[in-house]
Amino acid sequence: MVRSESMTLAKSIDTVRFRMEQAQTDLRNAVRSSERGARSAELGARSSEAEGFLVNDSGSVGEATCEVDVPEADAQQKPARMKHFQEAVDTAVLNARQASDDGDKALSELRGDILDRTNTHMAAESAADSRQAMKDLGVNGPQIPEDPKDAADWWKGLDDASQQEYAAMYPEQIGKANGLPSTVRDDANRLALDQELNFVSGSDQSIPGIPEHRHNLEVLKAELDKRDGATGNKKLYLLDFDGFEDGKTVIAMGNPDTADNVGVQVPGTATTMDSTGGQLARMDKLQRSAGRADPSANTSMVYWLGYDAPEIPVAEAPNLAVAGTGRADAAAPDLRDFTHGLRTSHEGPDRAHMTVLGHGYGATVVGDADAGGNGLDADSISVVGSPGMTVGKASDLHVDPRHFYSGLADDDPISNAQGLTLGPDPNTQVFGGTRFITDYPWAQRLLGREQSESRQSRENHRRQAAG
């Protein structure tokens, strides 16, 4: 919290200084600097002093006591010219006073509450104070491009001071920006999480939605805190979150920007923020399976609950979202932006091998996302228990059908719903791709094959580089 408010303090002072210097420059220009009008070529450079005017200490423009020889035509224009210079001086002085008043107001928002150890809501108050201070000064937040590649270029074009300033003062916007480095997003999102949790904890808990919002954020923070201090490919990176309704979150286990292989797992029906612990345990198992398949590779696994997963229909709540493509349609653009963002933020000359995995309705999301737009830019896709991919066959996807894998357990109840509303059964030879046996750990089988291909590709790349 100290970082956020101190950054705001520095930004406020710097903004006022800039505005004051600009006003000072405008004032100097009005008094001494050249001012070229429509007759500049004929008359040459002119200023208030050059035309025989004098600006006194109170800012009033008047005629100098000594006569200045000017053409008769210009003498007739003297009253208008004097009025012009008076307006310029008045505007410069007004701007300086306004900058001073705005600065005083902004700095008064930063009252130093962060030093009060008895204040249990200082994180939320600090964030609110920073926003209000910037509003008082008329400072806009970061204008981040929506396209991940453009966002990455925007970030790289900032100097270090501006990057630190934006991350500390606008953590929510920076944390959600696909294409920015995962380390930057993690740092910003953890700050935003603390601020938001502090805010909802201090809100009226009788307001509908507030208790659920608070619960979701507390669950997320608790799961992150459990793994605090983890290093290497076990370190967690919070890449996005949303505490509203059932909750959303995107967490990477291992830095995807530096990994040789990246797996993105999209969960299915009934997944909420309460599922975070179990899903992270699944990520850990997938990562260890990948490590056994290729010990030489560094693998990052990403848990992507960046959408509102359907609820299980029950008698008292007959929600049929699971039977339609509505949730998948809404999620598809966000999943595409995320995977393309990972491609953009990846470091090093070698492209990471990206596998996108979908479970249950998550497979429908993956199919919808890869079929639309420019696809997911994935090297392979694997789905298990898929009720349909929203497409008729594997070749309708952007991924090479030879790298599409599907599996379904014989006793999976989803088999009774296939081919109804979400597309034909992807576990048939007619659909295309490759089937895998689900009795054998499906992730280990899939990732073992993919890791072997990835290892061979890296070895070929190294030989070519050395050759």
Distance separating alpha carbons of residues 407 and 415, to the nearest angstrom: 11
pLDDT of 329 reads 96
- Across 277-286, average pLDDT: 96
- Across 217-221, average pLDDT: 97
pLDDT of 324 reads 84
For residues 229 and 250, the answer to whether their CB atoms sit within 8 Å is no
Residue type, 443: A
Distance separating alpha carbons of residues 365 and 304, to the nearest angstrom: 11
Q: Would the pLDDT of 274 be above 90?
A: yes
- Across 240-261, average pLDDT: 97
* Residue 169 binned pLDDT confidence (cut-offs 50, 70, 90): confident
Q: Which two tokens stand for residue 120?
A: 């249990």
Q: pLDDT tens digit string along 60-84?
A: 655 555 554 555 555 556 666 667 6
Comparison of pLDDT for 179 and 421, the residue scoring more: 179
- Across 342-352, average pLDDT: 94
Distance separating alpha carbons of residues 314 and 329, to the nearest angstrom: 23
pLDDT of 381 reads 97
pLDDT > 70: percent of the chain: 60
Per-range mean pLDDT, top range of 13-17, 139-143, 160-164: 160-164
Q: Do strands 434-435 and 353-359 pair parallel, antiparallel, or not at all (unpaired)? A: unpaired
pLDDT of 199 reads 85
Least trusted range by pLDDT, from 86-90, 367-371, 441-445: 441-445
For residues 421 and 323, the answer to whether their CB atoms sit within 8 Å is yes
Comparison of pLDDT for 195 and 190, the residue scoring more: 190
For residues 238 and 224, the answer to whether their CB atoms sit within 8 Å is yes
pLDDT of 330 reads 96
pLDDT of 204 reads 86
Q: Which two tokens stand for residue 50?
A: 């050059």
Residue 63 pairs with which residues in a beta bridge? 53
Mean pLDDT score across all residues of the chain: 78
Q: Does the CA dihedral 444-427-396-366 come out positive or negative?
A: negative
For residues 237 and 291, the answer to whether their CB atoms sit within 8 Å is no
pLDDT of 127 reads 57
Q: Would the pLDDT of 394 be above 90?
A: yes
Determine the straight-line distance between the first and last CA of the chain, rounded to whole angstroms: 53
Per-range mean pLDDT, top range of 137-151, 298-312, 314-328: 298-312
Element (H, E) at 326: helix 326-345
Q: Which two tokens stand for residue 21?
A: 């210097």
Instruction: Name, in order, each residue with C-beta under 8 angstroms of 148's C-beta and a sequence gap of 6 or more.
Output: 178, 179, 337, 340, 341, 343, 344, 345
Least trusted range by pLDDT, from 28-42, 189-203, 365-379, 452-466: 28-42
Q: Would the pLDDT of 395 be above 90?
A: yes
Q: Would the pLDDT of 293 be above 80?
A: yes
DSSP 317: B
Element (H, E) at 300: strand 299-305
Instruction: Name, in order, each residue with C-beta under 8 angstroms of 366's C-beta and a sequence gap of 6 or more.
Output: 266, 335, 356, 357, 358, 376, 381, 383, 389
Instruction: Name, in order, each residue with C-beta under 8 angstroms of 125's C-beta and a sequence gap of 6 or more.
Output: 113, 119
Q: Would the pLDDT of 230 be above 60?
A: yes
pLDDT of 332 reads 97
pLDDT of 349 reads 87
Q: pLDDT tens digit string along 198-209?
A: 888 888 889 999
Residue type, 297: A
- Across 173-199, average pLDDT: 95
pLDDT of 99 reads 63
Q: pLDDT tens digit string along 256-271?
A: 999 999 999 999 999 9
pLDDT of 114 reads 46
The 3-state DSSP class for residue 430 equals coil
* Residue 42 binned pLDDT confidence (cut-offs 50, 70, 90): very low
* Residue where the block lists tokens 């509303």: 421
Q: Would the pLDDT of 251 be above 60?
A: yes
pLDDT > 90: percent of the chain: 48
pLDDT of 26 reads 65
pLDDT of 19 reads 61
Q: Would the pLDDT of 281 be above 60?
A: yes
Q: Do strands 380-384 and 404-407 pair parallel, antiparallel, or not at all (unpaired)? A: parallel
